[in-house]
C-alpha cells in the first residue's frame, strides 16, 4: 500500500483549470487501479505555506545554536510548525502527483515556496565530500503541467523553466519522475480546447495504470 500526495498548485477551480481536469481524470483512474492506496490532497492556494525568509532562517540558526523552540517568538513558532508540518507530510509520502500551470515561463510562487519546505539538507538530501546525496530514493512523482502555448517540444522548449525545474529538483532529492502529462496549446488554438483536453485525459488514464 502506498501513500500518494496530490499537490495542486493553481488557484483556479477545476471547472476553469484544464490541467486540474486532467489531473482529476488521472486520480480517478489511479484510485480505481489502486483501491488500497491512501491519497491525501494538498491545495497550495488553500494552505498556509510559510515563505523561507529572514525570520525563519534566523530562527533556524538560533535553534541550531541551542536555543529552545519554546523561547522563540510565538508567531515564529507558529510559522515553523506550519513549515515543518509540510515537510513531514511530504517525507511520509511514497508517490507525488503535481498539477501546476506555467506562469511567466516558471512555476507559481506558492509552488516554489512549497519546494523550499521539502528540499532540505539532512532531510531530503545531504552534503558529502563527494557532493550532494539524494535521500528520497524509491519514491515516484508525475507532473501534470498546463500552459497556453506549447513548450514541451520545439523551438519554445528552451524558454520554459516550469516543468524542467520541478523535474530537476525532484530528481535532485532522489525521486523518480515519470514522463509528464502536458495540457498545452489551448491559447494558441482555442477552437481545439476539447480535443487537447481529451488527448491529455487519454494520456492521464494510460499513465495512471503504471504509476
d(CA 143, CA 115): 14
Binding residue per annotation — 152?
Answer: no
Name which of 173, 79, 174, 83 is nearest 119 in CA terms. Answer: 173
Residues of the chain with confidence (pLDDT) below 70: none
Instruction: Kindly report the backbone phi and psi dihedral angles of residue 143, in degrees, each rounded to the nearest multiple of 5, phi listed first.
Output: -110, 130
CB atoms within 10 A of CB 187: 11
Determine if residue 147 is labeled as part of a ligand binding site. Answer: no
10 annotated to a ligand binding site: yes
Query: pLDDT value at position 184?
Result: 94
Q: Is 183 helix (H, G, I), strand (E, B) or coil?
A: strand
Q: Is 64 exposed, middle or buried (0-12, 13-18, 19+ CB in 10 A)?
A: exposed
Q: Residue 184 in contact with residue 147, Cβ under 8 Å?
A: yes
What is the number of alpha carbons within 13 Å of residue 206 lying toward its C-beta? Answer: 10
- Residue ranges of domains in the chain, CATH in brackets: 3-210 (3.40.50.360)
Identify which of 40, 27, 35, 36 has the alpha carbon closest to the alpha carbon of residue 208: 27
pLDDT of residue 144: 98
Predicted local confidence at residue 154, as pLDDT: 82
**Percent helix, strand, coil in the chain (nearest 5)?**
45, 20, 35
User: 3-state DSSP call for residue 145?
Assistant: strand
Residue 19, annotated ligand binder?
yes
Angle between helices 109-118 and 163-172 (to 10 degrees): 10
Quickly tell me which residue has 483501491 as its cell: 35
User: Over the stretch 114-163, which tens digit does the pLDDT of each residue have?
Assistant: 999 999 999 999 999 999 999 999 999 999 999 988 888 888 888 889 99
Position 176 scores a pLDDT of 98
pTM of the model: 0.95
Look over the chain and give the mean of its residue pLDDT values, rounded to a whole number.
95
The Cα 73–Cα 92 span in angstroms is 28
Amino acid at each position: 500500500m502506498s501513500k500518494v500526495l496530490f499537490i495542486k498548485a493553481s488557484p483556479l477551480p477545476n471547472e476553469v483549470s484544464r490541467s486540474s481536469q486532467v489531473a482529476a481524470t488521472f486520480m480517478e483512474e489511479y484510485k480505481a487501479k489502486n483501491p488500497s492506496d491512501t491519497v491525501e490532497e494538498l491545495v497550495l492556494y488553500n494552505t498556509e505555506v510559510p515563505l523561507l525568509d529572514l525570520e525563519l532562517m534566523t530562527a533556524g540558526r538560533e535553534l541550531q545554536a541551542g536555543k529552545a523552540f519554546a523561547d522563540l517568538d510565538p508567531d515564529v513558532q507558529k510559522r515553523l510548525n506550519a513549515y515543518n508540518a509540510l515537510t513531514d507530510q511530504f517525507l511520509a509520502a511514497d508517490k507525488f502527483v503535481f498539477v501546476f500551470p506555467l506562469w511567466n515561463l516558471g512555476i507559481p510562487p506558492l509552488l516554489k515556496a512549497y519546494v523550499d519546505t521539502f528540499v532540505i539538507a539532512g532531510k531530503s538530501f545531504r552534503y558529502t565530500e563527494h557532493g550532494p546525496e539524494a535521500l528520497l530514493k524509491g519514491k515516484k512523482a508525475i507532473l501534470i503541467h498546463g500552459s497556453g502555448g506549447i513548450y514541451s517540444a520545439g523551438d519554445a522548449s528552451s524558454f520554459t523553466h516550469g516543468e524542467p525545474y520541478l523535474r530537476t529538483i525532484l530528481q535532485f532529492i532522489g525521486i523518480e519522475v515519470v514522463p509528464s502529462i502536458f495540457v498545452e496549446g489551448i491559447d494558441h488554438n482555442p477552437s481545439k480546447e476539447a480535443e487537447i483536453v481529451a488527448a491529455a485525459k487519454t494520456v492521464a488514464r494510460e499513465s495512471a495504470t503504471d504509476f
